[in-house]
A and B are shown apart, each in its own frame.
Chain A
Amino acid sequence: MNFKLLDFALHSLVRRKGRYPFIYITFTLLIAVSLSIFTITGALKQEAQYSLNNLPDIIVQKISGGRQQYIKKQLAEDIIMLPGVISAVPRIWGFYPFEYLNTNLTIVGVDIYDPYVTETLAKITKDISPLKFNRNIFLGEKLHEIIRQIYNKDEFSFQMPDGTYKTLEIAGTFQTSSQMISTDTVITDMLSAAEILGIPAGFSTDIAVNSANSQEISTIAEKILNISPSLKVVTKDFIKASYQNMFDYKGGIFLLFFITSLFTFFMIIFDRLNGPSGGELKEIAILKALGWGTSDILKVKLYEASVIGLFSYLTAICLSLIYVYVLHAPGLKDVFMGYSYLKPSFSLPFVFDIRVVVTVFLITVPVYGSAVIIPAWRAASTSAEVIR
């Protein structure tokens, strides 16, 4: 490390003020975008992992005419008799169009007499008053706020399939940051849910099956299929695989976009540095005549590039931290999640991953460095004739 050359490099940066802001800004933005994308995809994968872990091993659906139909609750009793099955629970859930927000609410019916359910609800709800049969709903904080704004009361009227209305009081809200239930979910008792969704008595949306041993899942799935040809089973592994596909697909598009912009950026850089300005060429020629070697000139360029690279990098880290953690990644998160209106308020558990930071550093800074060094090297090794 030659500090006199470093001095000279810092001096040059100050001298050629006009030249660097463009490079600095583009480079900063590029790094900030990459950092943000990587952080968000990382967080989403974690989030997906979390929800996947809470899925039942097998979901049993009834399909006829190529469409999902309601399934007889009684079937659960047949399934639980199969060896290896530890639970088979009919689930009541579905979507309720909430036109005001142009979104679908997810209505989930729970067994309010089940102590496990009560306990779980108590854990995630804020102002706990127990869910009373055919009277109450629980919903997300944000949704609660919106409903309060629209109707100015703590209740919501659902229009049932026959056209009549069913009004339920809001008994409590759960934190939107809860990872277990997303913000557009409305929880109520099973009967109310069935009524709102128009599910006939004795039927359920699907049946959630858990096995004692994950190795037996496929055997159990086969046996369930043997009960009736109209049944369809969806295993946890299958859902995992399709989630993975979706992330890889979207991640891939972004990678493509990212590489393209990276490429464009370096094209611009190359373009700007390929022919160092006349003044710079002359300066290189003078320095060479004064006894500077090509390596000395390259060192100076390297120092310049490192200073710019480092500053850009630090600025970019700050920017992406603000974007992701403070602003919660507006825009980008929607692209990855396909979120509806309500969901952007849902905050992801973003983790600061040092590996991401290092990876992005390794992708960008050396490439930028060579984009600076290569043209400078060319200029330095052929500039002797410039001085006449």
Chain B
Amino acid sequence: MIKVVSVTKTYTTGTDKITPIKNFNLRVNEGETVILQGSSGSGKTTLLNMIAGLIKPTEGSVEVAGRNVSKLPEHFAAEFRRETAGMIFQQFHLIEELTAGENIALPLAPSSLSRQEISDRVNMLTEKLLIKNIIDVPAGKLSGGEMQRTAIARALVNSPSIILADEPTANLDGTLTEELLNIFRSLKSEGKTIIIATHDPVISGSDIADKIIHLNKEV
């Protein structure tokens, strides 16, 4: 379960202060799929990053699976991400010179898993996502759809219970968006908790959303 309680986030750059999230509350139950909507600059990415423990709220608390991630020291926040969260980014953010397989394995490098165990997981995921054939192709040479699947495989390689996706369809055409929806559906059926930030109506209008949250741009 994810509990966001009275969270405010203020960014300070020089003398400028921006507060995209103000006194915000959210509750996501296990296995739920939540869509975050809102115009650009409304704080969707900010919220996802706080749930992932990447940034800390200025006020309030974020609790994920019983852990107060807003208070976790850096080392434990990283461990939490490694064990619990899988992130999918808008730009995929693959490391271009590494192969698809190496990219997928990245989250497990700091773990204590053996190479064999890691490669088993990578094989299983690439098989499931139908990208086994590109495992040795440098990520920079992949097509958009392949990149996206690679990014998804990477987010899933640590068997996370929570998946955080930031505008996952922004760079995809209609067919690929449909495919992505199918992948989310199957993840949902596996009982994963999913939070998707998007302004793509295809996603927000689909059947996968249990809840749709609107973030308003503060002025």
Contact B75 A294 (CB under 8 A): yes
B45 touches A4 (CB 8 A): no
Measured CB to CB, the closest approach of chain A to B185, in angstroms, equals: 24
Q: What total count of A-B pairs have CB within 8 Å? A: 74
Of the candidates A8, A15, A290, which one forms a contact with B154 in the assembled complex, judged by CB atoms under 8 Å apart? A290
With contacts A4-B109, A5-B109, A291-B110 taken as known, whether A15 is within 8 angstroms of B87 at the C-beta atoms is no
Asked if A5 and B110 sit within 8 Å, CB to CB, the answer is: yes
Residues of A close to B134: CB separation below 8 A: none
Interface pick from B91-99, B123-131, B175-183, B198-206? B91-99
| Nearest CB of chain B from residue A282's CB, rounded to whole Å | 8
Residues from chain B with a CB closer than 8 A to the CB of A388 are 45
Q: How far is the CA of A38 from the CA of B45 in the complex (A)?
A: 57
Q: Are B75 and A293 in contact (CB under 8 A)?
A: yes
Q: A15-B97, A296-B109 are in contact. Are A290 and B54 (CB under 8 A)?
A: no
Are B89 and A289 closer than 8 Å at their CB atoms? Answer: yes
Q: Return B152 CB to nearest CB of chain A, in Å.
A: 13
CB distance from A191 to the nearest CB of B (A): 82
Q: Is the CB–CB distance between A293 and B54 below 8 Å?
A: no
B45 CB contacts on chain A under 8 angstroms: 387-388
| Cβ-based interface call for A295 (8 A) | yes
Q: With both chains docked as a complex, state the minimum distance between the C-beta of A332 and any C-beta of chain B, in angstroms.
A: 42
Interface residues on B, range: 20 to 34
Does the CB pair A294–B109 fall under 8 Å?
Answer: no
* B residues near A283, Cβ cutoff 8 Å: 95
Q: A4-B115, A5-B109, A286-B93 are in contact. Are A291 and B98 (CB under 8 A)?
A: no
How would residues 52 to 75 of chain B score, 1 for a CB under 8 Å from any chain A CB and 0 otherwise? 101100000000000000000011
CB-CB nearest in chain A for B45? A388
B85 contacts the other chain (CB 8 A):
yes
Contact partner of A292 (CB less than 8 A), chosen from B52, B55, B78, is: B78
**Residue of A whose beta carbon sits closest to that of B49:** A384
Q: Is B79 an interface residue (CB 8 A)?
A: yes
Most buried by A among B52, B78, B81, B97: B78
Question: Across the interface, which residues of B come within 8 angstroms of A15, CB to CB?
Answer: 97-98
Q: Is A381 part of the contact surface with B, judged by Cβ < 8 Å?
A: yes
Other-chain contact of A385, B55, B85, B97 (Cβ < 8 Å): B55
The majority secondary structure among interface residues of chain B is helix
Asked whether A292 and B89 contact (CB < 8 A) given A11-B98, A384-B55, the answer is no
Task: Count contacts on A: residues with CB < 8 A to the other chain.
Answer: 25
Chain A residues whose CB sits within 8 angstroms of the CB of B107 once the complex forms: 290-292
In the bound complex, CA of A384 to CA of B81 (Å): 13
- Secondary structure at chain A's binding surface: helix, strand, loop or mixed? helix
Q: Is B158 an interface residue (CB 8 A)?
A: yes
Q: Does B28 contact A (CB under 8 A)?
A: no
Interface: B106 (CB within 8 A): yes
Query: Are B54 and A291 touching (Cβ within 8 A)?
Result: no
In the complex, A215 has a CB within 8 A of chain B: no
Whether the Cβ atoms of B81 and A291 lie closer than 8 Å is yes
Contacts A2-B110, A384-B55; A289 near B81 (Cβ below 8 A): yes
Residue of A at shortest CB range from B77? A293
A292 touches B98 (CB 8 A): no
Q: Specify the chain A residue showing the minimal Cβ separation from B110.
A: A296
- Cβ of B149 within 8 Å of any chain A Cβ, yes or no, is no
Task: Please indicate the chain A residues that have their CB under 8 angstroms from the CB of B82 in the complex.
Answer: 290-292
State whether B109 touches A288 (Cβ < 8 A): no
Neighbouring A residues of B97 by C-beta, 8 Å? 15
A342 within 8 A of partner (CB) = no
Taking A384-B54, A385-B55 as contacts, is the C-beta distance between A8 and B81 under 8 angstroms? no
Question: Shortest CB–CB separation between residue B119 and chain A, in angstroms?
Answer: 11
Q: From residue 268 to 294 of chain A, which have CB atoms closer than 8 A to chain B?
A: 282-283, 286-294
CB distance from B100 to the nearest CB of A (A): 14
Contact A289 B87 (CB under 8 A): yes
B93 touches A296 (CB 8 A): no
A-B contacts, 24 of them at CB < 8 A, read A2-B110, A4-B108, A4-B110, A5-B109, A5-B110, A15-B97, A282-B93, A283-B95, A286-B89, A286-B95, A289-B52, A289-B89, A290-B107, A290-B154, A291-B82, A291-B158, A292-B78, A292-B82, A293-B75, A294-B78, A295-B75, A381-B74, A384-B49, A385-B55
Q: A4-B108, A290-B106, A387-B45 are known contacts; what are 14 more A-B pairs with Cβ within 8 Å? A: A4-B118, A5-B109, A5-B110, A7-B109, A8-B106, A11-B98, A286-B93, A289-B81, A289-B89, A291-B85, A292-B110, A293-B75, A293-B79, A296-B109
